Amino acid sequence: MAKLIYSAITSLDGYVEDAKGNFEWAAPDEEVHAFVNDLERTIGTYLYGRRIYETMVYWETSGTGPDQSAVERDYAGIWRAAEKVVFSTTLRQVSSERTRIETTFDPAAVRGLKADASADLSVGGAELAGEAIRAGLVDEIHLFAHPVIVGGGKPWLPDGVFVELELLDERRFTSGVVSAHYRIGPSDGS
């Protein structure tokens, strides 16, 4: 069975975007981006909420020009090769190949995707990831904590959920970003 992985870039105080919805501070440098690319090579399907999809669809056309770095071109190819499922009640049309819309998040259907997949899945967007964590679907978390405190905004983890984590790996980057890779243990059902 494939794993469902939640990768999140957060501020040190735990937000994926600040109170104004900004996340420019989260842009990875070349070193972090190359590391992320290596992690993403195992992903065959991305599960997205609408807002994160609208951010990530940039990669459908970006990364192909001579002005793009090798790391950006590499990531664009990885992203375009994967299937994408966008969970949204408002999105009517997608702007990328290999993409479909689902109007509801159905944990049983996601379990089926995991069971049938030949490559790992990734869940993106804090709200959708929170639903997947609550449903006990997420197997691993890749956290990238940036050396910035934004003081509030959208948290990267849901409230009211308790799960034990096992640290599998960690890495420090020259930019001050810290990566932590965890396996999720059993939930207490809260």
Beta strands in the chain (DSSP E): 4-11, 15-18, 43-49, 83-87, 99-102, 120-124, 140-146, 153-155, 163-172, 178-187
CATH assignment of the domain containing 16: 3.40.430.10
- The continuous run of DSSP H or E covering 72 comes out as helix 70-81
- Report the domain count for the chain: 1
Q: For each of the chain's 190 residues, which pLDDT tens digit applies?
A: 999 999 999 999 999 999 999 999 999 999 999 999 999 999 999 999 999 999 999 999 887 778 889 999 999 999 999 999 999 999 999 999 999 999 999 999 999 999 999 999 999 999 999 999 999 999 999 999 999 999 999 999 999 999 999 999 999 999 999 999 999 986 555 4
**Rounded Cα gap, residues 36 and 179, in angstroms:** 10
Q: Are 69 and 78 in contact (CB under 8 A)?
A: no
With CA atoms as reference, report the closest residue to 122 among 110, 104, 134: 110
Instruction: Count H helices and E strands in the chain, helices first.
Output: 5, 10
For 113, the domain range is 4-187
pLDDT of residue 187: 56
pLDDT of residue 190: 47
- The residues pairing with 143 across neighbouring beta strands, listed in sequence order, are 8, 180
Q: Are 2 and 137 in contact (CB under 8 A)?
A: no
